[in-house]
Amino acid sequence: MEFSGVEFRYAGGGTPRSRRAVVALGVLLAVLVTGCSAATSESRQADETPSSTRRAKVDLSTLPDATTFGTTSDAPSDPAPRSGTDGVVLRVKRDIAVHDSVGGEAVARLPATQFESPTWVPIVAERDGWARVLLPSRPNGSTGWVRLGTEKVHKAHSPYVVDVDVGNRRLVVLENGRELGSWSVGVGSVDTPTPRGRTFILASIRETVSDFSPIILPLGTHSETYTTYGGGPGTVALHGWPESEVFGTASSDGCVRVPGDALRLLRSLPLGTLVRLR
């Protein structure tokens, strides 16, 4: 497994160097691009959140997984899918419960890893010691509330945003509002459109099976046309493409195809970085 260094600014101050995993697993890539029948097995445990608003100890084994393979039907929808965030992201260090409101019912389990990469999710709101985060599960736009102030999570800040104008087929990377690069990209076709809304970079997977893209960056969103890509979860991703004719066209099955120099920049961004598909 290869590791790539990225810098986060922690909410508590300072700028320690974090690292995100690039998964060098050909089988795992096949799961994303051509499908798979099951998610990676992960340990489960009870969530003992100390809070006066806690209803009861939550048995995480009874909850649906908030992963790209999962469906969290009871999770609340994103209230502002076209909005940005203030750049705060949450690292999930141990599996935690996701609730439908502050101190509300547990509706999902958010594991500490996604595609064997550490789980980082954007925070879209905070209230009374809780954070509302974007989830990588179906349906698209799923969110949930998680408890802050425990050893299971910590906050950091990412200055980056990936903005994809689907209609104009253009991708822009911003750092603190400053443009780092802009590219013409390929997007989903009329029959298989790229989904809209705010999502995030879920993981970074090194391609070892085929040569169409050296790195695949799965997002926390899915095709709304296909329930599966070849048996897999139908995860939408940012990735390269060997033929430049696709850039500026609507011809993919929903993924965003980017030029090589764009991919080199995108792969350096921290996991959990906000991606706006608009």
The DSSP bridge partners found for residue 117 are 114
Give the active site residues. 239, 255
Give CA separation, 79 vs 70, 83, 157, 254, in Å. 21, 9, 22, 23
- 149: amino acid identity, one letter: G
